[in-house]
Structure 1
Amino acid sequence: MSLELLFQRRSIRSYQDRPVEDDKIKKLIEAGMAAPSARNIRPWHFVVIKDREILNKITDIHPYSSMLREAPMAIAVCGKHSEPYWVQDCSAAMQNILLAATAQGLGSVWLGIYPREDRTQEVKDLLDLPEEISPLGVTAIGYPNETKPQKEMYEEDKVTVIE
């Protein structure tokens, strides 16, 4: 993977009316599962959501998720919340999914669920997750209906060098 991919990834909120192919979805999940994990516990659980009714219901739970009304799918990245590093492990998995989406010509945006208790419980109930599994976030995924230029994000004042 070239570093250029990191800089090309942007939050995409508008999608074409076109389904994402199953082989691309599998690659997204494989990328999530390739993330680093503390003690190799791999506490993650992925829910692929293609059901239009469920995608629309998430927009009733999450106030900034309106793009799910046109996204053809989403992936909920969830984890076994009894594991001490589940948030870090699942965040790494989510980032891998976002990068894999960009690499495959797809657009995506990360919608935070955890640690908002109201969102966490409502999404958990909606997805019928087992008691020990909690949603970290949902990413809307689809073929982009918008293009965004790369943006310079480097801020020198946020870097400390200790020599």
Structure 2
Amino acid sequence: MNEIFSRRSIRKFLPTVVEDEKIEKMLRAAMAAPSAGNQQPWEFYVVRDKRVLQDLSHCSPYAGCAANAAAAIVVCSRDTSQRFPAFVNLDLSACVQNILLEAVTQDLGAVWLGVTPYKAREIIVRRALGIPQELTAFAIIAFGYSNDNKDIRTKEDRYDPSRVHYL
């Protein structure tokens, strides 16, 4: 559970290449996420190309850090053959959370950059990656070795008993 309590949004990265093995472990973690009816509605784009990272950094006012990331994983939904379409965003959120937690395990910094539900963001990401029409961009996870003064292993206790109600 250490990863859960030490995960932080990291937006500053060293110019160091992230090993393929670490990226594969993050993708394996993503695909281990629960999904409604085990529909697994995800597809992934791994982006290392600096020009494409720069393009992705313009999709929202909060995505600028993607330009200096070592890489990014763009999580997309498959829009065909979904058994439970109302739950796709929940499935993809669990998938993204698993990527973020595995990034901590791999001593990487990462940040979740939301794309959905903003159509303008989705269009920019679609154009940058050449995403086919049957997929929709959900989120960008920019990652790399941290160059942030935040210690990604520092624990912060956010537990608030006033938000817990026992019946």
Task: Give unmatched runs, 5+ long, in structure 2.
Answer: none
Name the amino acid aligned to 1:138: I
Whether the 8 Å contact between 1:80 and 1:86 is mirrored in structure 2 is: no
For 1:11-26, list aligned pairs within 5 A: 11-26=9-24
2:138 alignment partner, SS class: strand
CA shift for structure 1 position 150? 2.3
How much identity, in percent, do the aligned residues show? 39
Whether the 8 Å contact between 2:13 and 2:144 is mirrored in structure 1 is: yes
Q: TM-score scaled by structure 2?
A: 0.91
CA shift for structure 1 position 98? 0.3
Determine whether 1:156 maps to 2:140.
no
| Deviations, residues 58-82 of structure 1 (Å, cap 9, x unaligned) | 1222111111121110000111235
Whether the 8 Å contact between 1:67 and 1:140 is mirrored in structure 2 is: yes
1:60 alignment partner, SS class: coil
Distance 2:66 2:124 in 1: 16
RMSD, matched Cα: 1.2
Structure 1 stretches of 4+ with a deviation exceeding 6 A read none
Distance 1:105 1:75 in 2: 16
1:136 alignment partner, SS class: strand
Name the amino acid aligned to 1:87: N
Greater displacement, 60-69 / 147-156: 147-156
Distance 2:142 2:19 in 1: 15
CA shift for structure 1 position 159? 1.7
Whether the 8 Å contact between 1:48 and 1:73 is mirrored in structure 2 is: yes
Task: Give unmatched runs, 5+ long, in structure 1.
Answer: none
CA shift for structure 1 position 6? 0.5
Q: TM-score scaled by structure 1?
A: 0.93
| Deviations, residues 80-103 of structure 1 (Å, cap 9, x unaligned) | 235312111111110000000000
Q: Determine the structure 2 residue equivalent to 1:107.
A: 109
Q: Determine the structure 1 residue equivalent to 2:44.
A: 46
Q: Determine the structure 1 residue equivalent to 2:6.
A: 8
Whether the 8 Å contact between 2:41 and 2:91 is mirrored in structure 1 is: yes
Distance 1:153 1:28 in 2: 25
Whether the 8 Å contact between 1:11 and 1:108 is mirrored in structure 2 is: yes
Distance 1:87 1:81 in 2: 11
CA shift for structure 1 position 157? 2.3
Number of residue pairs the alignment of both structures matches: 160
1:61 alignment partner, SS class: coil
| Deviations, residues 14-56 of structure 1 (Å, cap 9, x unaligned) | 1111000001111111110010111111010010000100110
For 1:72-83, list aligned pairs within 5 A: 72-82=70-80, 83=82
